[in-house]
Chain A
């Protein structure tokens, strides 16, 4: 029971497919009780979970399964209500399905929706890479003292489409408006990289770490 244990223990889940060090360093800016792990025991002891990642949806899910973390993660998030923050691909993995090169892969289904390629309309180049402003649609714990329309660093070719509009906290525009922050109970996700977005990014991580389970 986390209620008897106020000590923070943030665990960054290592899928082995991306640079998780920079996420650790960003958390370390304000919090020392953070570690990178792909060990079930560590996950079970976490007060907060972070799922970062870049790259392929299929590889991300495969990695969770191969590391035996898939079901543990669902149990911690859905049954034990441990707060989780998905970053970039990490957020996308929360979806019901991911589509890549016409291959459909089952996601964690924590958020109803699917992950599809960014549409190449007009001047839109893929990947969507660079700083873009994020429009807040509603309040959320991770946005406390963060200014609406702040710029964040994005780099992705796919985006999440939420089936339930109430899960969408913020959007950004790249040809079309797309989901850039999600929030549903203890589940949080950002399409951009807070760890690469200077002060406004650090603030989001800080806010997340202050959420009580």
Chain B
């Protein structure tokens, strides 16, 4: 049986691991290399790494960092932040990442998703979607939450699916960093209206938040960051709680 993936997210700017609330007031919560080392020791299901200022600062992708991280990491790695062309994706994968997460570039032109999935396979392409709920409407934001788009979320997901995306990383900006639980309603709505595997993100503050979500919505992965940075809970605690509630997770390191 396929397991629900418990995925720590690492947001960073240069080598600082950062964490914000609602995509704002970023603070440094550690060193990215150390954090990754700990997740490796804990043998997590998968890791997502996001350079949060890459798009807005028009930074070059830090390939050395990707190479260093993947050197002795025998688990899936997703890398995101500032990706807007095929050559970059090729370089990122060559340096050891398994998947790339594309956000802003996809909202502007789906051709990149189409070309990327054609070149590297759908399994390699994660489309990351950041949204807010405004007057009961889901509004998609690009550029790390700075730019409001006019995209309709369901139409958008259908179009990225057609373009060949393999997964959706769905992040609630309203919930992000608040540790008040996932946005159950929206995640359920999106999941019910999509055929792609969904990774839910934003708001997880305790293991029970994950159980509350999977009881309601069909998700393939549960991303979290603050819970691991600011509480004593580990990915394994989260899994044990899910297992105790009857959900399939990979608990043993076999």
A interface list, Cβ under 8 A from B: 17-19, 21-22, 25-26, 29, 54-56, 89, 120, 123, 125-133, 147, 150-151, 153-157, 173-174, 193, 195-202
Contact = CB atoms under 8 A, between A and B. Distances in A.
25 contacts: A19-B98, A21-B95, A21-B96, A22-B70, A25-B71, A25-B74, A54-B121, A55-B121, A55-B123, A55-B124, A120-B195, A125-B196, A125-B197, A125-B220, A126-B196, A127-B197, A129-B167, A129-B220, A130-B197, A131-B5, A155-B76, A157-B122, A173-B1, A196-B74, A197-B75
Contacts of A54: 120-121, 123-124
Find the residue from A89, A131, A195, A200 having the highest chain B CB count within 10 A: A131
B98 A174 contact: no
Contact of A21 (B5, B94, B218): B94
B254 A129 contact: no
Given A18-B93, A198-B253, A200-B254, A129 B197 contact: yes
Given A129-B166, A151-B3, A25 B95 contact: no
Nearest to A174: B2
Given A18-B120, A54-B123, A131 B74 contact: no
A130 B221 contact: yes
A197 B74 contact: yes
A6 B74 CA distance: 28
Contacts of A18: 93, 120-121
Nearest to B92: A19
Contacts of B188: none
Interface string B51-83: 000000000000000000011101110000000
A195 B74 contact: yes
A194 to B, nearest CB: 9
Contact of A19 (B72, B93, B197): B93
Find the residue from B43, B72, B98, B124 having the highest chain A CB count within 10 A: B98
Contact of A22 (B96, B121, B123): B96
Nearest to A56: B121
Interface SS, A side = mixed
B45 interface: yes
Contacts of B121: 18, 54-56, 89
B74 A29 contact: yes
B254 A55 contact: no
A198 B72 CA distance: 10
A174 B96 CA distance: 27
B250 interface: yes
Interface string B10-21: 000000000000
A181 to B, nearest CB: 16
Contacts of A150: 254
A18 B89 CA distance: 11
Contacts of B166: 127, 129, 155, 157
Nearest to A194: B74
Contacts of A29: 72, 74
Contacts of A89: 121
Contact of B75 (A125, A154, A198): A198
Nearest to A20: B94
B98 A131 contact: no
A206 B38 CA distance: 25
A38 to B, nearest CB: 14
B197 to A, nearest CB: 5
Contacts of B120: 17-18, 54-55
Contact of A25 (B72, B122, B197): B72
Nearest to B1: A173
Nearest to B191: A125
Contact of B3 (A132, A201, A202): A132
B74 A133 contact: no
Nearest to B67: A21
Contacts of A17: 119-120
Find the residue from A19, A127, A193 having the highest chain B CB count within 10 A: A19
A195 B98 CA distance: 11
A13 to B, nearest CB: 16
B3 A130 contact: yes
Contacts of A125: 195-197, 220
The 3 closest A-B CB pairs, nearest first, are: A55-B121, A155-B123, A131-B250
Contacts of A151: 3, 250, 252, 254
